[in-house]
Amino acid sequence: MGERSIIPTRIAKAWADLPLTRKGLVVVIVPLVILIGSLLTLYRASYIEARAEDDVRRAFAIQRDIYQVHALLAEAASGVRGYLLTGEERFLDPYEKADRDLPATLGRLDVAIEDRGVREAYEVFLTQADRKRAGLDDLLERARTQRSEAGLSDATRALLAANKDVLDDLRRQIDVIQELEGALLDARRERVERVRDQYLLQTAVSAVIGALGSLAAVVLFSTGIVRRVHQLEENAERLQRGAPLAAFPPATDEIGTLATKLDRASALLRAREQDLRESEERFRLVVEEVRDYGIFVLTPEGKVATWNTGAQRIKGWQADEIIGEHFSIFYPEETRAFLPAHMLARATEQGSAEDEGWRVRKDGTRFWANVIITALRDEDGVLRGFAKVTRDITERKQSEEALEEAREQAIAANLAKSEFLSRTSHELRTPMSAILGFTQVLELDSEELPESHKRAVTQISKAARHLLSLINDLLDISSIEAGGSDVALEATPLDEVLSEAHGLSAPIVKTAGLNFTLTPLGRGQTVLCDRRRTVQVILNLVTNAAKYNVDGSFISLSATEEDGRAVISVSDDGPGIAQADLPRLFTPFDRLGRDRRKGAEGSGLGLALSKRLVESMDGTISVETEEGEGATFSFTLPLAEEPQPTTVREGVADELSS
């Protein structure tokens, strides 16, 4: 029993694993082989039946031809007797006919007779027929030679009698042959009937075999292809509905492979659907739980379709109160008529639209909102609705307004400060000029003054000049901050500016006990600058270097050209500047390094004023330093379009050669 169940299972498994091409060949070949076998069987039956019928027809033909031989010989004998009795030639027509037709008839009989017994009787018959023909020939010859004699001779009568006996023997032999042929005919008829019965049976068997073969082909086709295709179709419908797939018989043919891939695709889709559902659920929970943003969906007509906790908190409506309402309800009266439609039109055309403005809560209070509306389209580009995100930024709006107000107040305070400094500086300048004037008068009569008074006058003059310098710096920086700096840009020879600044600052450097070098550009370039302000910047930088370079040995002033701009640098080998102090370097009134040089004079405005003057001439200022290794201050000025030859102003040649 185990082997019987295993073999069909193996056959079914082998059939299921067979490729569709071979299955198709089997389905086509099986009925075709059965049909060909049935046709061959039918052909063989038909052939046997035809042979049997041919045998029957041949038996009838043999009987007919034997009777025809007998009839021809009998008519020939009758004609010869008539010719013997009358002597008329017309009686010889049957004889001539027999002489003419007998060879052909006997030839057919010789071919047709196949049975051995009939053949032996036929040989006797043939001998008797030859004797009969020979006897007739003798009678005819004798009749022609004895035509003149009256009556028939005894010899002729004896020949006639012998011929009659031969004809009688021939008739008896014919009866023998007919009897034999009759027996053969009956046997052949019985054989024909038997063959017909066999033919009918074979036809029925062939029909049954053909029907069974067709049924087997249909079963093979159904079990191997159609039924499994229907199962695939059902699984495809299940896949479309998202339902689990039905179990599919294992197979490695094309349908089995397709079923396996479909099953894998189903598992992958279910996994992705599960991930998507979980992602959508997480997104829904996130959206619903977001409190700082109102996130909801609008229909293409602008009606609210969803509502989250943030929207409820910001706007005040519950979900059942607002869903189905047009979102224009959130806009104040002055913008409700046009702004909602405009926002939807922009989002439809551009994909999204953003706006900030006043919106209305359920209780009628207003809040400043940031709104983003995004068009939602399907894979075919058809508009399905809008996603709307609303954020309450009223506090930020208020903070911005407060900051703007504070900025305006700071600007106003700064302008007031600048105006105060400018007015104060001007007010201080008048008495300071008087102090300096009287000091100069006292200095003219210093020879007549006591030594203590001389020292006092010197201190007054020094303090007055320092205070005047401070007042001038205050006026300059307040003027720049107020936008009223008197900077006049013109094409100026760069080396002349360097020589002038070098000559003016050389005494300061010399007093500090430092070497002072000048490296001009030497190419005749001109820069677009305010000459006086440029010299002032260089003086500030050199003075600053000389003031703090207490342990170094030199200060250098040089110029280079980079990217179409002149770079003017002041370098020293002093203590440098700490990295922490660099952000404060150009801050007004912030004096760095006071702990290292407590006796150094200054207001803390030099570098700040220099930065503003350089920027007002379309330049930039920077510093490169490392603590303990000196510092290099550099500022840039734009080169003039047409360079002019270097000309040294009168009184500056000595400074260039020093």
Q: Against a cut of 0.85, is the pTM above it? A: no
Q: Which structure tokens are listed for 64? A: 């007919």
On the question of pLDDT at 289 being above 50, the answer is yes
Instruction: Look up residue 550 and give its two tokens.
Output: 């207490």
**Res. 171: pLDDT tops 90:** no
Tokens found for residue 502: 């070098």
pLDDT band at 653 (very low <50, low <70, confident <90, very high): very low
Model confidence over 31-67: pLDDT tens digits?
A: 677 777 777 776 776 777 677 777 777 777 877 877 7
Domains of the chain: 21-214 (1.20.120.1730), 290-392 (3.30.450.20), 399-467 (no CATH), 488-657 (3.30.565.10)
Q: What is the DSSP letter of 324?
A: T
Length of the chain (residues): 658
The more confident residue out of 605 and 502 is 502
Q: Are 122 and 177 in contact (CB under 8 A)?
A: yes
CA–CA distances in Å: residue 89 to residues 134, 144, 157, 294, 400: 19, 11, 20, 142, 159
For 74, phi and psi rounded to 5 degrees?
-65, -45
What pLDDT shows up at residue 648?
39
Please report the DSSP string for 136-151 in residue order: HHHHHHHHHHTTTSSS
% helix / strand / coil in the chain, to the nearest 5? Answer: 65, 15, 20
CA distance 349 to 341: 12
For the CA atoms of 244, 249, 255, 259, the dihedral, rounded to the nearest 10 degrees, stands at 20
pLDDT in tens, 330-387: 999 999 999 999 999 999 999 999 999 999 999 989 999 999 999 999 888 899 999 9
φ, ψ (nearest 5 deg) of residue 588: -60, 140
Query: Is the per-residue pLDDT at 154 higher than 80?
Result: no
Segment 181-219, tens digit of pLDDT: 677 777 777 777 777 677 677 777 777 776 776 676 666
Residue 10 to residue 211: CA distance in whole angstroms: 26
Strand partners, 571: 556, 632
Q: Over the stretch 291-337, which tens digit does the pLDDT of each residue have?
A: 678 888 999 999 999 998 888 888 899 988 999 999 999 999 999 99
Q: Are 245 and 238 in contact (CB under 8 A)?
A: yes
At residue 534, the pLDDT reads: 92
Across 122-136, 251-265, 343-357, 594-608, least confident range: 594-608
Token reading at 320: 């059942």
pLDDT of residue 4: 47
The residue among 613, 606, 628 whose CA lies nearest residue 547 is 606
- Average pLDDT score over the chain: 76
Q: Given a cut of 70, is residue 602 above it in pLDDT?
A: no
Residue from 287, 244, 284 nearest 262 by CA: 244
Task: Give the per-residue pLDDT at 429.
Answer: 60
Residue, of 173 and 127, whose pLDDT is higher: 127
* Mean pLDDT value across residues 8-34: 67
- Sign of the dihedral through C-alpha 602, 607, 608, 609: positive
- The whole-angstrom separation of Cα 528 and Cα 245 is 85
What is the distance between the alpha carbons of residues 269 and 235, in angstroms, rounded to a whole number?
A: 13
288 pLDDT above the threshold of 90 = no
- CA 533 vs CA 350, 488, 490, 571, 611: distances in Å: 54, 9, 12, 20, 11
